[in-house]
């Protein structure tokens, strides 16, 4: 199915280019060649992903392909008819300059995308992910209490020490580096803690427990929104259907009950997602009201709702802009020609390049929130096309290695590994969307892996895998489904 979508998508974008681009012959041939290369590369990757023996590598290939479709190929088509609506226009680049930069930007992104695919395909270790949900000795109440307590601690830390609030300097906690470490722990990695109760509830089929687990999971997104971060609530809306998909493939005990619950959950989360979509255009103004005008949430909502700029925007376009891709890369490539960048290797690794770029482009006031250059753009700034290819090869290898390491080597229950995979994939996407500080991403990944181990051991008792402990009914069920 995905291979057909790949062909149809690229065919539709090709047709849009013919009808709406107005490019000259050279630019047209340039972008069509790149489009053909991504279509062929994606087709090969998706065909390889169909191998059951190597499905672990396959899920990475599918994830990278879906990411590239959304952030680059589809946004290329959107740019042909709505280039003025991208957030970089006119802040960083005018619409005509961005439109002219699209062919080269898509070509650079294509090189990065194909390099990622090649690196994952060339990863020397192949292994199979068994999606079967196995018998476990879970501690659901303990997990729920830990997640709820963690949520309260997170709220207090953000309230008293201003940790992880965009555009706000945190208050010192009295111990060097402690604030940074705690910020990482209550940031992205916190997603795993608050979503384990949801996963366990879906496995057990206990709807009352599931309701409490969902309250905690979405409360985490609400806390981050209260303090200025919109990403978490979107992550949560994405994680629920991913979990349902994983469990649909592997759950066999109480399957009928699970399907009924899944249908209700899809309706509920889908309805909530539509509400978020409708309100998304107000969220930045809500955040600014909290940071600048008032500490009262109700008053901040009223100020955001009354804002003329918010009312004139499109929530759908705001979400599309949140998925940084070809428009940000085009702006970066245009601005790179005008800005002298630091040339040292250390500056390229530790984030100095993106800080310098943001400072020069946006100025000191807005530079507190770093500009999302995209990872392809960051490599391009650091060393041109060669850095895009080499850097993407390294990143693809790192992605494949981390997934292999966590799934094959961590001494936690098999079900917890399945629950962690979507968190891992989201982390990979965040690196590709933002880019600019490999050291910070590595620290965040390390903290996330440590919490993954701790929370998994708390939530489900670990037993060394053996044939006698694996449920033969699950294996038979999986075999029948294949």
Three-class secondary structure of residue 138 per DSSP: strand
**CA dist list (Å): 344 to 229, 317, 382, 387:** 32, 37, 9, 14
Average pLDDT over every residue of 411-436: 92
Lowest average pLDDT, out of 92-96, 162-166, 255-259, 382-386, goes to 162-166
Average pLDDT over every residue of 71-80: 94
Domain ranges of the chain: 139-316
Given a cut of 90, whether residue 35 has pLDDT beyond it is yes
Q: Looking at per-residue confidence, does 331 or 312 come out higher?
A: 331
Most confident by average pLDDT, 21-25, 86-90, 119-123, 431-435: 119-123
HSE of 227, CA atoms in CB hemisphere, 13 A? 25
Given a cut of 70, whether residue 366 has pLDDT beyond it is no
131-170 pLDDT, tens digit per residue, is: 999 988 899 999 999 999 999 999 999 989 988 887 777 8
What percentage of the chain carries pLDDT values higher than 70?
89
Distance separating alpha carbons of residues 345 and 167, to the nearest angstrom: 27
345-354 pLDDT, tens digit per residue, is: 666 666 677 7
**pLDDT for the residue 299:** 85
Average pLDDT over every residue of 410-428: 95
Given a cut of 60, whether residue 467 has pLDDT beyond it is no
Both tokens of residue 114? Answer: 């194909």
Average pLDDT over every residue of 28-35: 93
**pLDDT for the residue 351:** 66
**pLDDT for the residue 313:** 81
What percentage of the chain carries pLDDT values higher than 90?
52
Determine contact, residues 172/187, Cβ cutoff 8 Å.
no
Which secondary structure element, helix H or strand E, spans residue 275, and what is its range? helix 255-288
Give the model's confidence band at 469: pLDDT under 50 very low, under 70 low, under 90 confident, else very high: very low
Distance separating alpha carbons of residues 250 and 463, to the nearest angstrom: 19
What value does the mean pLDDT of the chain take? 86
CA nearest to 309, candidates 281, 288, 290: 281
Q: Looking at per-residue confidence, does 226 or 65 come out higher?
A: 65
Given a cut of 60, whether residue 367 has pLDDT beyond it is no
184-226 pLDDT, tens digit per residue, is: 889 999 999 999 999 999 999 899 999 999 999 999 999 998 8
Lowest average pLDDT, out of 233-247, 357-371, 378-392, goes to 357-371
Q: Looking at per-residue confidence, does 396 or 382 come out higher?
A: 396
**pLDDT for the residue 181:** 86
Average pLDDT over every residue of 271-285: 87
Q: Looking at per-residue confidence, does 205 or 343 come out higher?
A: 205
Q: Looking at per-residue confidence, does 44 or 1 come out higher?
A: 44
Both tokens of residue 357? Answer: 């770029």
Give the model's confidence band at 69: pLDDT under 50 very low, under 70 low, under 90 confident, else very high: very high
**pLDDT for the residue 119:** 96
Given a cut of 90, whether residue 295 has pLDDT beyond it is no
**pLDDT for the residue 48:** 86
Lowest average pLDDT, out of 208-217, 285-294, 455-464, goes to 285-294
Given a cut of 50, whether residue 480 has pLDDT beyond it is no
HSE of 34, CA atoms in CB hemisphere, 13 A? 23
Q: Looking at per-residue confidence, does 481 or 437 come out higher?
A: 437
Determine contact, residues 454/190, Cβ cutoff 8 Å.
no
Average pLDDT over every residue of 236-259: 92
Give the model's confidence band at 474: pLDDT under 50 very low, under 70 low, under 90 confident, else very high: very low
Residue 170 backbone class (left: φ over 0; alpha: ψ -120 to 50; beta: rest)? beta
Given a cut of 50, whether residue 482 has pLDDT beyond it is no
Both tokens of residue 364? Answer: 């000191």
Given a cut of 60, whether residue 468 has pLDDT beyond it is no
CA 401 from centre of chain: 18
Given a cut of 80, whether residue 91 has pLDDT beyond it is yes
**pLDDT for the residue 49:** 86
**pLDDT for the residue 280:** 87
- Which string of b and e fits 310-343 if b means at least 16 CB within 10 Å? beebebebbebbebbbbbbbbbbbbbbeeeeeee
Given a cut of 80, whether residue 246 has pLDDT beyond it is yes
Given a cut of 70, whether residue 426 has pLDDT beyond it is yes
Average pLDDT over every residue of 448-469: 82
- DSSP conformation class of 20: I
Distance separating alpha carbons of residues 48 and 121, to the nearest angstrom: 8
């Amino acid at each position: 199915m995905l291979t057909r979508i790949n062909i149809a998508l690229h065919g539709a974008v090709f047709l849009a280019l013919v009808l709406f681009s107005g490019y000259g012959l050279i630019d047209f041939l340039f972008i069509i060649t790149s489009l053909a290369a991504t279509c062929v590369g994606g087709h090969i990757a998706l065909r390889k992903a169909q191998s059951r023996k190597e499905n672990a590598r396959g899920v990475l290939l599918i994830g990278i392909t879906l990411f590239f479709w959304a952030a680059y190929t589809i946004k290329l088509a959107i740019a042909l008819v709505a280039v003025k609506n991208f957030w970089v226009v006119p802040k960083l680049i005018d619409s005509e300059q961005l439109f002219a930069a699209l062919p080269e930007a898509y070509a650079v992104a294509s090189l990065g995308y194909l390099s990622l695919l090649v690196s994952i395909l060339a990863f020397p270790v192949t292994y199979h992910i068994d999606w079967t949900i196995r018998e476990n000795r879970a501690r659901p109440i303990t997990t729920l209490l830990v997640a709820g307590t963690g949520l309260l601690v997170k709220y207090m830390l953000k309230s008293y020490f201003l940790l992880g609030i965009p555009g706000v300097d945190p208050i010192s906690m009295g111990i060097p580096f402690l604030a940074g470490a705690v910020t990482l722990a209550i940031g992205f990695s916190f997603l795993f803690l608050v979503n384990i109760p949801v996963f366990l509830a879906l496995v057990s089929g206990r709807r009352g427990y599931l309701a409490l687990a969902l309250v905690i999971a979405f409360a985490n997104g609400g806390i981050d929104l209260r303090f200025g971060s919109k990403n978490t609530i979107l992550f949560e809306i994405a994680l629920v259907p991913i979990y349902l998909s994983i469990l649909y493939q592997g759950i066999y005990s109480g399957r009928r009950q699970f399907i009924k619950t899944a249908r209700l959950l899809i309706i509920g989360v889908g309805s909530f997602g539509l509400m978020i979509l409708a309100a998304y255009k107000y969220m930045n103004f809500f955040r600014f009201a909290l940071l600048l005008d008032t500490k009262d949430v109700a008053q901040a909502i009223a100020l955001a709702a009354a804002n003329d700029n918010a009312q004139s925007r499109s929530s759908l376009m705001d979400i599309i802009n949140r998925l940084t891709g070809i428009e940000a890369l085009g702006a970066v490539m245009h601005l790179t020609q005008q800005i002298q960048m630091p040339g040292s290797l250390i500056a390229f690794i530790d984030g100095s390049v993106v800080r310098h770029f943001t400072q020069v482009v946006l100025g000191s006031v807005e530079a507190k929130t770093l500009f999302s250059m995209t990872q392809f753009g960051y490599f391009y700034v650091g060393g041109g096309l060669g850095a895009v290819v080499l850097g993407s090869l390294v990143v693809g290898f790192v992605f494949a290695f981390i997934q292999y390491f966590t799934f094959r080597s961590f001494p936690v229950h098999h079900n917890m590994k399945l629950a962690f995979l979507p968190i891992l994939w989201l982390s990979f996407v965040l690196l590709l969307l933002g880019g600019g500080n490999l050291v910070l991403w590595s620290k965040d990944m390390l903290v996330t892996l440590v919490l993954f181990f701790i929370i998994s051991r708390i939530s489900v008792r670990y037993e060394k895998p053996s044939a006698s402990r694996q449920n033969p009914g699950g294996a038979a069920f999986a075999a029948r489904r294949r």
